[in-house]
């Protein structure tokens, strides 16, 4: 079945540093790919998504490109802020195309 492998954390960065969180997937076909974020004390929320190969999802300065050749969907941000401290989850749809399958999550801590 579909699965996702995500870089394990924690990741600790200084403010304005460059961020990359790696995510690779195994899937039948080309399912939509997602990054979800969980800020401290809050519920899980969608950060960005890409629905087909070469699509780039972006939001709040974060970007991820759907790479079919490398089966990857790495999350990047050029300059992180303290407010970006959260847990980030890479996800894709299951084979039925209904529910999400999540990676293990990566905790990001940004210090000023």
Partner 1 sequence: SAVISQKPSRDICQRGTSLTIQCQVDSQVTMMFWYRQQPGQSLTLIATANQGSEATYESGFVIDKFPISRPNLTFSTLTVSNMSPEDSSIYLCSVSSAADTEAFFGQGTRLTVV
Which residues are at the interface with partner 1 (CB under 8 A)? 31-32, 42-46, 49, 51, 89, 93-94, 96-105
Minimum CB distance to partner 1, residue 31 (Å): 8
Q: Which is nearer to partner 1, 80 or 105 (CB)?
A: 105
Q: Which is nearer to partner 1, 27 or 93 (CB)?
A: 93
Question: Which strands form 62-65's sheet, in the order they lie side by side?
Answer: 19-21, 75-77, 62-65, 56-59
Minimum CB distance to partner 1, residue 15 (Å): 26
Alpha-carbon distance of 5 to 102, in angstroms, equals 9
Q: Which is nearer to partner 1, 60 or 78 (CB)?
A: 60
Q: Specify whether the CB–CB gap between 96 and 28 falls below 8 A.
A: no
Secondary structure (3-state) at 101: strand
Q: Which is nearer to partner 1, 43 or 69 (CB)?
A: 43
Alpha-carbon distance of 23 to 49, in angstroms, equals 13
């Amino acid at each position: 079945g579909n699965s996702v492998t995500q870089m394990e954390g924690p990741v600790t960065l200084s403010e304005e540093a460059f961020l990359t969180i790696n995510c690779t997937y195994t899937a039948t076909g080309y399912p939509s790919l997602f990054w979800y974020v969980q800020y401290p004390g809050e519920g899980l929320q969608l950060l960005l998504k890409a629905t087909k190969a070469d699509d780039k999802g972006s939001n709040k300065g974060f970007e991820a490109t759907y790479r079919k050749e490398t089966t990857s969907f790495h999350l990047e941000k050029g300059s992180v802020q303290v407010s970006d401290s959260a847990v980030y989850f890479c996800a894709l749809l299951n084979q039925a195309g209904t529910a999400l399958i999540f990676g293990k999550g990566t905790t990001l801590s940004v210090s000023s």
